[in-house]
Amino acid sequence: MSPAAATDLGPIEGPEEISRKIEQINVSYTALHEAYEENFWATKMGLKVGSRELRESKRARERESERETRRSRCVRFSPSLTHPSLFHLTPLPPPPLTPPPQGNSPEQLSATKTALESFLADPANLAEVETAAKAEDLSDEQRRTLECLRAAFLVSQLPAEASALRAELNELEAALASDRREMRLGYEDSKGQFVEASTVQLRQVLRVSADEREREAAWKGLRSIGPHVAEKFAEIVRKRNAMARAVSSENEVTFLFFPLL
């Protein structure tokens, strides 16, 4: 076992070539997921995150957690999982550091989400794992890990048309979120002055204000969100249904829930 194929978690047993393949997938997935995760929080919360010290501290905590869970059995893969521990049944070396996002960026969020989804949906990754699973003298840990990886890649496979629509949807959804976040929201108070307010603040005015006109103004403020986002939201719904039809589902609801029925 070469030093590159082992971490402080200890070497994984089995053919070295298979261990290297598993390790390569782990490193690639973690780097892509980390880029998406940081852009998600930066964009959704308007933060500047990802300092080197914080990221290295986070990795140290994750490696400590891995020591406790490494021998746990393989769990059923779910596309909704959003934590890098998805593939932590095998040793995971620290992935290369990537430049942190500078504040919120819908473009970065869309690009990193598409990159992560494309990695999981890449037929080449599925084929590589299936080929590795046929190797001789696999250890139980290698076999279990390859089964997990195969399930992850298999459930993410989409026809070319659906993949293209999903990438387009990522851009549309990021643009809608940005548009909604930048919307000037508020109400006119009893003095006729516009007061900027969040949806939480507007609902609070509806609950506690003794001024009927102020309550009505807060209600109109909340009601203004629908018309503001309606056109883009409707386009997203159309695209989602088109993506579902591209994978032979009637609409997005059946596409999402059919595997559970």
Same domain? 120 vs 167: no
Number of domains in the chain: 2
Q: What is the pTM of this model?
A: 0.62
Same domain? 153 vs 174: no
Neighbours of 52 (CB within 10 A): 9
Structural domain of 172: 162-260
Same domain? 80 vs 166: no
> What angle is formed at CA 108 by the lines to CA 25 and CA 95, rounded to 5 degrees?
30
Same domain? 126 vs 186: no
Same domain? 44 vs 138: yes
The model's pLDDT over 94-111, given as tens digits with 9 standing for 90+, comes to: 444 444 444 467 788 888
Tell me: pLDDT of 150 over 90: yes
Lowest mean pLDDT among 54-63, 75-84, 121-130: 75-84
Side chain identity at 174, as an amino acid letter? Answer: A
Side chain identity at 201, as an amino acid letter? Answer: Q
pLDDT band at 86, cuts 50/70/90?
Answer: very low
pLDDT of 136:
87
**Domain-terminating residue out of 117, 142, 157:** 157
Looking at every residue in the chain, the average pLDDT score rounds to 77
- Among 98, 103, 92, residue whose Cα is nearest residue 41: 103
The model's pLDDT over 37-56, given as tens digits with 9 standing for 90+, comes to: 888 888 777 666 544 445 55
Question: What percent of the chain has a predicted confidence (pLDDT) above 90?
Answer: 36
The model's pLDDT over 20-38, given as tens digits with 9 standing for 90+, comes to: 899 999 999 999 998 888 8
Same domain? 145 vs 48: yes
Query: Could you tell me the CA-to-CA distances from 60 to 29, 51, 64, 65, 191 in Å, in that order?
Result: 18, 14, 6, 9, 55
Query: Could you tell me the CA-to-CA distances from 47 to 9, 56, 103, 163, 251 in Å, in that order?
Result: 33, 18, 5, 30, 35
